A and B are shown apart, each in its own frame.
Chain A
Amino acid sequence: MIIEARGVSRSYGSTPALREANLSVAAGEVVAIMGPSGSGKSTLLHCLAGIFTPDSGEVWFDGRRLDTLDDGRRSELRRTAFGFVFQFGQLVPELTAADNVMLPLLLGRTRRKHAQRRAAEWLERLELADLGGRRTGELSGGQAQRVAIARALVTRPRVVFADEPTGALDTLTGEHVMDLLVGLAREEGATVIVVTHDARVAACADREVVVRDGRVSDPYTIGAVR
């Protein structure tokens, strides 16, 4: 397993968001986390990615305990081993598409020239070669999400975390974005964990799990047992 949540619980004040949630994801797997709004699926993603620390339980990444690392080391891991795609891209609107893609490389002290070349390669793979000089605030939703995918993959992460990556897009654009995200991640051998309420997005994954009331259930196990 590349990443695992073992009995993870997390509350917001007195409201429990996750209750002893378990999830194991194999290397190279594409897994969709589904569930109704407020079920805890985004909290689970944030715990797996080391953005949130669980109140109890353990998170393991590649044989190492992630939740007990200090902030600095978790932050370094997020920069070097993980990539992120969020619903609204969370790009820097004042920067160009190419600058946004370069950003994680520059933060990791890659030389500017090399970072520029890598960003250009990734923009081309995402069919954005002509838009590298455009400010991301001027891009369409689909174009911005493709920039976000390039930014997520440019560091060659082991795991890509995507939270409702097509939530703000129409069906066709969303489908195209998912095809690119999953296709390119597979080419790179990266694992993808995607939170979505959209069954069409989940259909791009190898399997899905459902989070309900903070608990994770694997529908295939349930179906097989019952």
Chain B
Amino acid sequence: MTVPLALLGLLEREPSHGYDLKRDYDTIFGRGRPLPFGQVYSTLGRLARDGKVTGQSEPGDGPDRKRYAITPLGRQEVATWLAEPVAAEPYLQTVLFTKVVLALMLGRDAAGYLDAQRATHMRRMRELAEIKRGGPLTDALLADHAMFHLEADLRWIDVTQARLGALAEVVRAS
């Protein structure tokens, strides 16, 4: 969902060719997950079909190139999207929750699982802290976002660890 809107946003900044658009997307938003060329052109095709961008052919010596520009409709779509907050998802049924409850239900080592999960989360936290130390601000902000989410999981892991005995009684009684 964000790829078409990110491309539209880049086109609102300035008209661009598909190749340049992909390069800009990969640099700013890609972060190790570059956009395939096929996806760039198919997305631009759909946006053109829906009247959100126009593609102007530029004949030259090489293959025919199109220069894409955003339309007023596309501009409106970007404005609406940027003004809309993302839904605050409750994340109630996480994999972590399911594993802990199942482990307790089956008499397995739920505390051990939580310890191992904690260690895995902390390892990732350290990798992200390293990215923050060495990288540009955009990388640091992305790392921060990931770290805050991991931190929330870690707090949940700690609270659950402390309540494991009570949780075991509830699960076994149900």
Contacts and interface: CB of A to CB of B under 8 A. Distances in A.
Interface of A: 36, 179, 199-200, 202-205, 208, 210, 212, 217, 219-220, 222-223, 226
Contact of B112 (A199, A203, A226): A226
Contact of A204 (B109, B129, B150): B129
Interface string B112-128: 11011011111001101
Contacts of A36: 158, 162
Interface of B: 109, 112-113, 115-116, 118-122, 125-126, 128-129, 133, 147, 150-151, 154-155, 158, 161-162
Contacts of B115: 210, 217, 219, 222-223, 226
Nearest to B109: A226
Contacts of B113: 226
17 contacts: A36-B162, A179-B133, A199-B150, A199-B154, A200-B129, A200-B147, A200-B151, A203-B125, A203-B126, A205-B126, A217-B115, A219-B122, A222-B116, A226-B109, A226-B112, A226-B113, A226-B116
Nearest to B130: A203
Nearest to B115: A222
A223 B118 CA distance: 9
Contacts of A222: 112, 115-116, 119
A202 B133 contact: no
Where chain B touches its partner, the secondary structure class is helix
Contacts, number: 49
Contacts of A205: 126
Contact of A199 (B116, B125, B133, B162): B125
Q: Which among A36, A202, A219, A220 has the highest number of chain B CB atoms within 10 Å? A: A219
Contacts of A208: 122
A200 B125 contact: yes
Contact of A219 (B119, B126, B133, B147): B119
Contacts of B116: 219, 222-223, 226
Nearest to B151: A199
Contacts of A226: 109, 112-113, 115-116
B129 A203 contact: yes
Nearest to B147: A200
Given A208-B122, A219-B116, A226-B112, 18 more contacts: A199-B121, A199-B122, A199-B147, A199-B154, A199-B155, A200-B147, A200-B151, A202-B122, A202-B125, A203-B128, A203-B147, A204-B129, A210-B118, A212-B161, A219-B122, A222-B116, A223-B116, A226-B109
B146 to A, nearest CB: 11
Given A200-B129, A226-B109, A219 B151 contact: no
Contacts of A200: 125, 129, 147, 151
B109 A203 contact: no
A4 to B, nearest CB: 22
Contacts of B118: 210, 219
Nearest to A218: B119
Contacts of A203: 122, 125-126, 128-129, 147
B119 A223 contact: yes
A223 B117 CA distance: 8
A216 to B, nearest CB: 12
A208 B154 CA distance: 13
A36 B159 CA distance: 9
A103 to B, nearest CB: 31
A220 B119 contact: yes
Contacts of A204: 129
Contacts of B161: 212
Contacts of A223: 115-116, 119-120
A214 B158 CA distance: 16
Contacts of B119: 219-220, 222-223
